[in-house]
Structure formats: C-alpha cells, structure tokens
C-alpha cells in the first residue's frame, strides 16, 4: 500500500512538471486512477492518499465495487459500453468517456431521464483508425455531436481517445495532436455548447507526459499507480 502512495506522489510530480514544461496550469489536468481489476482495499489506499477520481472499464465490476466505496468520489467509465448496460452506467458513473454512437447516447438519455440525472460524456474518437478499437473516426465526430447535442440529459464536454500502442511515447504525439485539433475544429463550430475549452482525455501510464504537452485535461493512469494487473 505504501507503493501506491509513492506512485501517486511520483505521478503527480511528473504531471506538474510536464504541465510547467508546456506552459500550462497543472490544476487544469485531472488524474483519473484506472482501477479496473484492482480490489477495493487498494482503491481505498489510493483514496486515503487523497485520490478522488477513478476509472473503470467493466460494468459488473463497477456494480460490485462502487457502492462499497465513499460517496464523494468521481467515477469515469472508460471501457466499451453496450447499450443494454446503459442503465447501470447511467446510475453508477459521473462521466462516461466512451460514447461513440447515437444508439448508446439515446439509451443513456432515456435512463438518465428516469433517474432525473444530468451526465457529462465524452465522445470516443478512433484516432488511429484501428478496426479493433471503439470510437468514431474523426471525420464523423461532428455529425454524431450534432445529434447527441439534442439529447437533454447529456452534456458533451470533450473527446477521449486511445491511440495505437507504441513503446516510444514520442511516436504517440501525432495522435494526441490530432485529437486536440479535432476538438479545436468542433469548438469553433460551437459543438461543445458552453464549453470553450473542451476536455481532452488522452494519455496513460506510458505516455501521459507527452499527452499533457499536447493538451490533455484528463489522463488515465492504471499500472503506474497500482502496478501490473493480472
């Protein structure tokens, strides 16, 4: 558990350093601790160190864990979400980062209406054009955003992406940059409503400093906080 404390301190220091290098305010970058496959004791250890935002990938796992933890946490759903699980996601999460279809958005909006709950969502972009990954191609983001913006319970606050994997983080930089440019184009068209500076969720354990240099406002870190998952 001490390593979780040390890891969080290291990540936060690297976050601040990367932000300063890029001339950014570190406070505009949110660290989401990715707790998929991590038991509640280790999540609690992170909470005890002051970490309050967490990311989960699997609905069943989230249903088992989230209700047993403190109520003041912010939970981000970052996995692939099927419309038939939208009700649980709408109930459990504060942000859903992986909306990539009108069908899913419509299902979320319906359950949120029943719950009388507004929800922030991000549109997941398939930035590398990889057919095995979820997300809409950058060129289709505008069309999707225009229809989702008509759904009253959803606020689209930005974009999320998982670029192709490279062992050298510098190789990921062009993808991060492309996500930022996509967000800028959509912002000019006023597609994020009142948000003139949309969220950019990009960067994981191996490449988050490059992501911060390219404008990330949310980084999603698992392994570098909790160690390897089995």
Ligand X SMILES: *Cc1c(COP(=O)(O)O)cnc(C)c1O
Q: Which residues contact 24 (CB under 8 A, 6 or more apart)?
A: 212
Report the alpha-carbon distance of residue 118 to residue 61 in Å, rounded.
Answer: 23
Which of 125, 204, 211, 216 contacts ligand X by CB under 6 A? 204
Per the CB < 8 A criterion, the answer to whether 159 and 122 are in contact is: yes
Report the alpha-carbon distance of residue 228 to residue 50 in Å, rounded.
Answer: 21
Which of 15, 29, 34, 96 contacts ligand X by CB under 6 A? 34
Among 189, 125, 117, residue whose Cα is nearest residue 155: 117
Per CB under 6 A, the segment of 15-23, 87-95, 165-173, 202-210 that binds ligand X is 202-210
Measured from the CB of residue 136, what is the shortest distance to ligand X in angstroms? Answer: 15
Measured from the CB of residue 162, what is the shortest distance to ligand X in angstroms? Answer: 5
Measured from the CB of residue 53, what is the shortest distance to ligand X in angstroms? Answer: 13
Residues 103-132 contacting ligand X, CB under 6 A: none
Per CB under 6 A, the segment of 5-13, 64-72, 108-116, 214-222 that binds ligand X is 214-222
Contact flag: residue 59 with ligand X (CB under 6 A): no
Instruction: Using the minimum distance from each CB to ligand X, give the nearer residue, 165 or 193.
Output: 165
For tokens 């989960």, the residue is 56
- Residue 205 has φ and ψ, to the nearest 5°, of -50, -40
- Residue 58 has φ and ψ, to the nearest 5°, of -125, 130
Instruction: Using the minimum distance from each CB to ligand X, give the nearer residue, 6 or 185.
Output: 6
Contact flag: residue 223 with ligand X (CB under 6 A): yes
Contact flag: residue 221 with ligand X (CB under 6 A): yes
Handedness of CA 71, 74, 78, 82 (dihedral sign): positive
Chain residues binding ligand X by CB under 6 A are: 34, 36, 57, 78, 162, 204-206, 220-224
């Amino acid at each position: 558990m001490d390593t979780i404390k040390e890891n969080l301190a290291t990540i936060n220091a690297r976050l601040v350093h990367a932000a300063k290098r890029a001339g950014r305010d570190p406070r505009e970058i949110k660290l989401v601790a990715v707790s998929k496959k991590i038991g509640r004791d280790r999540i609690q250890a992170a909470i005890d160190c002051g970490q309050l935002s967490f990311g989960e990938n699997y609905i069943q796992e989230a249903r088992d864990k989230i209700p047993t933890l403190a109520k003041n946490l912010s939970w981000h759903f970052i996995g692939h979400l099927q419309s038939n699980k939208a009700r649980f996601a709408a109930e459990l999460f504060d942000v859903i980062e992986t909306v990539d279809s009108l069908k899913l958005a419509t299902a979320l909006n319906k359950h949120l209406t029943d719950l009388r709950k507004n929800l922030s969502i991000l549109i997941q972009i398939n930035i590398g054009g990889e057919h095995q990954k979820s997300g809409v191609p950058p060129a289709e983001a505008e069309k999707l955003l225009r229809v989702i913006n008509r759904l009253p319970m959803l606020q689209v606050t930005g974009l999320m992406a998982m670029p192709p994997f490279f062992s050298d983080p510098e190789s990921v930089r062009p993808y991060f940059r492309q996500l930022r440019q996509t967000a800028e184009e959509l912002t000019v068209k006023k597609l994020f409503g009142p948000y003139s500076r949309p969220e950019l969720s990009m960067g994981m354990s191996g490449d988050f400093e490059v992501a911060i240099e390219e404008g990330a406002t949310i980084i999603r870190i698992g392994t570098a906080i909790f160690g390897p998952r089995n």
